[in-house]
A = this chain, B = another copy of it.
């Protein structure tokens, strides 16, 4: 038995709604709204309909848990699966920089599906989500940077984060949380190999993390026992999946540090690794009053993870373009934004964007690399038509905790997402914003949408 796992499980078991500071509750409601926008906006986008058809084929035709993309009901397992596939599709969901974990994309699909099935209140959902974020972020930090080189942390660690949220809805005691971590941890999987082919696997990863985590929780509730030391044991996740696992991270600031409040809202609709450079370029162009025609070259100074992930020099699809530094900076330079609308409308119809993207290169920067993943620094060097070399540095990207979105910006983002997908009309969007903002008051969340 590991002391750290015991401590973490004890914290999760003892955590009550009254322990949560107002800032964590408010942030949780904001993250919930942010997640709803992401999940609803993916309606009809490939590969989501594949998951919907699979759920119809393998799952029950009725149930208490809602599939957001089509409004159908199913069992909690299939709602978690399909809503998981929805959550990350637009690359607009929240992220914790230090853990490189998109916690909302896995925690909310599992927790909402289970809360609907179990008839839990908004307050219970908030408590469960906070537990999932707090555990997931610490486990992500524990596995460290070496883990993310090979594994999609939101898939692997996401399984445990989703499991913990559902375990909290099931009112697990300390020993049940230990079993739960064991059953979730031994299912943790998700390799980055698919990025080399721009395949559909990211949605499979998130869907499975949410659903497998939920399965682990329901099986633990049934009485399934599991490894008592899945994180630090000699054949556990740390040994198997990391070279730099740091057990102290597992219990860092439990009860005083609210890791949930350190998450970033995504402002641009692209891979998070493009954001610091996007903001630095945007800032430089404003500062210097430059238009895109006045720029002949952009060098984005990045950490190694960005170079590893941003493989697409000539993206063929909007999804690939989200992983292309050139495409993202092209949209920023020409249109001033890289949101879902810009990706859909301008990327291939606007030759200026394509032309600008060819001017962009990436270069490993020692300072940026050393700060990562705790801090995501943005550094660009721009060469102008008149031969000037201009630098810009931003230390906190838009949406990061120290540079977060205002309530208005959060709501604008939500409205833009659901309007983009045609998922809700303006009145419906306003209503859902209101319900998310007062989630703590909801007696149950069965009728969410």
Contact = CB atoms under 8 A, between A and B. Distances in A.
Nearest to A216: B204
Nearest to A179: B199
Contact of A228 (B155, B196, B205, B236): B196
Nearest to A185: B191
Contacts of A188: 189
A182 interface: yes
A173 interface: no
B182 A186 contact: no
Interface string A223-255: 111111110011111011100000000000000
A426 interface: no
Contact of A219 (B54, B187, B193, B237): B54
Contact of A50 (B77, B222, B229): B222
A364 B53 CA distance: 53
A372 interface: no
Contact of A235 (B191, B226, B236): B191
A108 interface: no
> For the complex formed by this chain, how many copies does it contain in all?
2
A230 B150 CA distance: 12
A229 B196 contact: yes
B58 A75 contact: yes
Contacts of A301: none
Nearest to A212: B208
A422 to B, nearest CB: 23
Contacts of A205: 186
5 contacts: A59-B60, A185-B193, A193-B234, A193-B235, A196-B235
